Structures are given as C-alpha cells and as structure tokens.
Amino acid sequence: MLASADLNGDGLLDLVAASAVFDGPTYLTVLLGTAGGGYTSHDVQTVDATPSAMQLLDLDDDGDLDLVTVRPEADSIRVYQQVEMGIFRASGAVPTLRFPEVLASGDLDSDGRMDLVVRRYWGPRLAVHLVAPGGGLGPAREFPIEPFEPFNPREMAITDVTGDGRADLVLELSISIDV
C-alpha cells in the first residue's frame, strides 16, 4: 500500500509505504523525495494492522499531513498524526461502515478541508466522513450506491468531473473472470 504527498514542504513528493511480513508485523516506511528524482529512507516503524488503503491529509489543522488507513478487520479508520516531519503516531480509530476497503479524499463540503469517503468491500454502500473545523473525523454517514452494479470498485477518486465547481465521486468498476 502506498500514499504520496509532500511531507516536508520541499516541493517534492514523498512516499509512505505499508508492507507486511507473513505472520509478522506490518511496517510503515517513510521515503523522502530527492531533487535527483530518487528517494531516501527517513523512518521505519511498526504499526498494528495492514491497511487496505491509505491517504495523507491534514486532519488536525496543524498544517502538516496525517496518515489515515482503512482497517477492514476492525470496521474502522485508523488515524496516525504526524508528530514530527515524517514520524507518525497512532492517535485513534474512527468507526466506519462494515468491511471497508477503498478510501478517497477530497473537499466534499467546500470548506477547504479534505474529507474522506470509504467504500465497502462488497455491496452497494459507502460512508462519508467530513473533517470538522479544528480537526478530527466526523461520524460515518452511509449512503447507497445507486444504481448498484454487481462489480467491486477497486479505486475511487474525488474530483470535479462535471465542471460545476463541486466535488464528484468517481468509481472504477472491474470484473474478474475465473477460468
């Protein structure tokens, strides 16, 4: 799992990667972008669960990016606050819809803050978590996906597709064929 953003304000994209060892811990690795186009290792730490999706956004209005992961086994979103540049510490879990798997961020209510949308692994549901003034994720507001297609969306994005100045949610649908 990967997330990218400029963590240290140098104008270069940095990476946060989560990787798991079979029957072992999950590692969170922070790689800082370099001017030559490469990356240097900044920090490696152990986290409590392997995420199915990650996003970087400022959840506490302190000006730096925090890490949000989806934890399908706990039906929750895990929040890691950036306590120093590139150093994340778990700060809590926020309940969300059952079986969350896909995560997208974007300003859904035009308040200048990035909000979260969580997509269920299977089934026609998604949850919206608005970021409150002063920080913190609001409670999940669940919505049906209509019309529901029996395909499992693998990715989501929030962008203005229609050109009306408002955020739209885009779902990528895929079909797997077993032979």
Exposed, middle or buried by CB within 10 Å (0-12, 13-18, 19+), for 6? Answer: middle
Q: How far is CA 63 from CA 5, 40, 60, 82, 87, in A?
A: 13, 23, 8, 10, 15
User: Could you tell me the CA-to-CA distances from 147 to 12, 96, 142 in Å, in that order?
Assistant: 40, 22, 15
Per-residue confidence band for 153, with pLDDT thresholds at 50, 70 and 90: low
What integer pLDDT is reported at residue 129 of this predicted model? 94
What pTM did the predictor assign? 0.85
Give the pLDDT score at 40.
92
Going by pLDDT thresholds of 50, 70 and 90, the confidence category of residue 175 is low
Mean pLDDT value across the chain: 85
- Which residue is listed with tokens 């990016």? 65
Is the pLDDT score of 127 beyond 50? yes
CB atoms within 10 A of CB 169: 18
| Order of strands, sheet of 100-106, starting from the edge strand that comes earlier in the sequence | 100-106, 115-120, 125-129, 141-144
27-41, 75-89, 101-115, 119-133: range with lowest mean pLDDT: 119-133
* Half-sphere exposure in the Cβ direction for 149 (13 Å, CA): 8
User: In the numeric block, which tokens belong to residue 9?
Assistant: 């304000």
| Percent above pLDDT 70 for the chain | 92
